[in-house]
């Protein structure tokens, strides 16, 4: 299993990203200490929901790779990848990916956060498109979902794609 050792997080990835260079970034004031702590917690790799899903998949006997590059965009990675059957799994954080139930946005720098999170959602859709173009099936799991339920959903897709058609 190849675990990424890059010190980067999602936020810094995006700061480097040229994907949305044409979109003007709104001005913002520096986030306060509490918000910075929240951001670093939410943006890190190997989040608790991701680890829980990996454990549940492993317990079902499924084997996967983590942090595999997305075909067509070397700067993006799949959270969990079943490379033989081409099934990509992403565990989307409610905050960063704008979950309708829990994706509350800070009131400070609201315009910037809207820009940021809408940009993440657009990038997710673009990643889905890239993977589909390369023959992958994409499963997106919200961090609020039960890891076991999500693992069952993933297993169904993986097993279906293992069967000869
Ligand atoms: Zn949620």
CATH number at residue 121: 3.40.960.10
- 1 Cα to the center of ligand 1, angstroms: 28
- 140 Cα to the center of ligand 1, angstroms: 12
The two three-digit tokens of residue 46, written as one number = 């190997």
- 162 Cα to the center of ligand 1, angstroms: 31
Query: What integer best gives the mean pLDDT of the chain?
Result: 84
- 91 Cα to the center of ligand 1, angstroms: 11
Q: Indicate whether 11 belongs to any domain.
A: no
- 165 Cα to the center of ligand 1, angstroms: 35
> Helix H segments across 7-109?
10-16, 33-43, 48-59
- 163 Cα to the center of ligand 1, angstroms: 33
Q: Indicate whether 29 belongs to any domain.
A: no
Q: Indicate whether 3 belongs to any domain.
A: no
| Claim: this prediction has a pTM higher than 0.85 | no
- 87 Cα to the center of ligand 1, angstroms: 23
Place of tokens 């099934």: 87
70, 131 contact by CB (below 8 A): yes
Q: Reply yes or no on whether the pLDDT at 5 is more than 60.
A: no
Report the relative pairing of strands 137-142 and 87-92 from DSSP bridges. Answer: parallel
Region 36-65: what's the mean pLDDT?
A: 82
Query: From CA 81, how far away is CA 85, in angstroms rounded?
Result: 9
Q: Indicate whether 45 belongs to any domain.
A: yes
Q: Which residues share a beta bridge with 70?
A: 73
DSSP code of residue 23: S
Give the model confidence (pLDDT) of 96-140 as tens digits: 999 999 988 899 999 999 999 999 999 999 999 999 999 999 999
**How many domains does the chain fold into?**
1
DSSP code of residue 54: H
pLDDT confidence of residue 27? 84
- 141 Cα to the center of ligand 1, angstroms: 10
- 47 Cα to the center of ligand 1, angstroms: 14
Query: From CA 111, how far away is CA 123, in angstroms rounded?
Result: 18
| Contacts (Cβ under 8 Å, ≥6 apart) of 103 | 94, 95, 97, 117
Q: Indicate whether 27 belongs to any domain.
A: no
- 93 Cα to the center of ligand 1, angstroms: 7
| Cα separations in angstroms, 97 against 45, 66, 86, 102 | 14, 20, 23, 10
| Cβ count near 13 (within 10 Å) | 16
Region 54-58: what's the mean pLDDT?
A: 98
- 42 Cα to the center of ligand 1, angstroms: 13
């Amino acid at each position: 299993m190849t675990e990424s050792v890059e010190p980067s997080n999602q936020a810094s990835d995006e700061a480097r990203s040229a994907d949305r260079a044409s979109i003007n970034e709104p001005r913002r004031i520096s986030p306060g200490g509490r918000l910075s702590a929240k951001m670093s917690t939410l943006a890190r790799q190997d989040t608790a929901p991701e680890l829980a899903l990996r454990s549940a998949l492993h317990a079902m006997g499924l084997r996967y790779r983590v942090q595999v590059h997305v075909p067509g965009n070397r700067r993006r990675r799949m959270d969990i990848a079943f490379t033989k059957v081409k099934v990509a799994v992403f565990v989307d954080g409610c905050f960063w990916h704008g979950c309708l139930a829990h994706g509350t946005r800070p009131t400070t720098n609201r315009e910037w956060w809207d820009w940021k999170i809408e940009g993440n959602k657009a990038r997710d859709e673009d990643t889905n498109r890239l993977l589909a173009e390369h023959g992958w099936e994409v499963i997106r799991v919200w961090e609020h979902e039960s890891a076991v339920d999500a693992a069952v959903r993933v297993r169904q897709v993986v097993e279906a794609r293992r069967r000869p058609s």
